[in-house]
Amino acid sequence: MSPERVESQTDYHNPRTVFELKRLLKKFGIPLEEWGNKAEFTKKPEDLLEEIERGESILCSQEEEGLKRYVKKVAVDIVYSNDGKLLRLYQIYSEKKGRIRRRGISEANKKTFDGLMGKLLPEEDPDIAAERELEEEILKAVKDVSPPNLTEKERSQLTRPSPKIDERISNGFPGLLTEYTIYRFIFLLPDRFFRPEGYKTVDKNGFVVELVWEPLIKS
């Protein structure tokens, strides 16, 4: 979602209210009736407006493509060496009522992994965003370590390759074409943060987030 990519678009949209946003989405034929469905884990227009206000999402339109959302994200693939065997974390999301959504690992191919995912804040450095995801999802779930945050040496275990562009229809906002710039990191978890049973937190939407270890290579 670099500035030059945004500036090349025909029009840039910055709705100020939910009403303005809904009007814009309807103009481009976005199926709002599919939004806000908890059973399908889709989000509401209010959620998109919050992302726009925080600078996490940018909406642009072009005659050939229609409306498109631009998002920058970090993905942190967390691995741990346990007695010579590599383990990898995957996520399980569940509502308070018990419905479960697995993220980070494909049911069809368990070697497909997205890692911890998070959006970049405006002007945020990807390395800082990756550390923030680690702190929010892992470090805050581990209470009995000192120091509680990553040391400089531990931060050096966070490696980042070149970003990749992924364009597809958003799962959270059905019908909305989204271009993701994804900075994918690999992080070798330090021993002091390893918990064999995994980790559990609650996100801002009230979903229980469980992170569970799985062998990197199955025999």
pLDDT attached to residue 107: 42
Domain boundaries, the chain: 3-215
Sign of the CA dihedral running 194, 104, 201, 182: positive
E strand residue ranges, the chain = 11-13, 57-62, 66-82, 85-94, 100-103, 116-119, 158-159, 164-169, 177-188, 199-202, 208-215
Nearest to 79 by CA among 194, 208, 219: 194
Per-residue pLDDT tens over the stretch 142-186: 878 888 888 999 988 888 878 999 999 999 999 999 999 999 999
User: What integer pLDDT is reported at residue 101 of this predicted model?
Assistant: 46
**What span, in angstroms and rounded, lies between the C-alpha atoms of 173 and 30?**
9
- What would the mean pLDDT of 192-206 be, rounded to a whole number? 82
User: Which pLDDT tens digit goes with each residue over 52-83?
Assistant: 999 999 999 987 779 999 999 999 999 999 88
pTM of the model: 0.74
Residue 201 pLDDT > 80? no
89/15: higher pLDDT: 15
Amino acid 211: pLDDT: 85
Share of the chain above pLDDT 70, in %: 82
The answer, yes or no, to whether residue 112 has pLDDT greater than 50, is no
Residue-wise pLDDT tens digits, 85-111 = 899 988 776 554 444 444 444 443 343
DSSP helix/strand/coil, 46:
helix
Q: Which two tokens stand for residue 103?
A: 């993220």
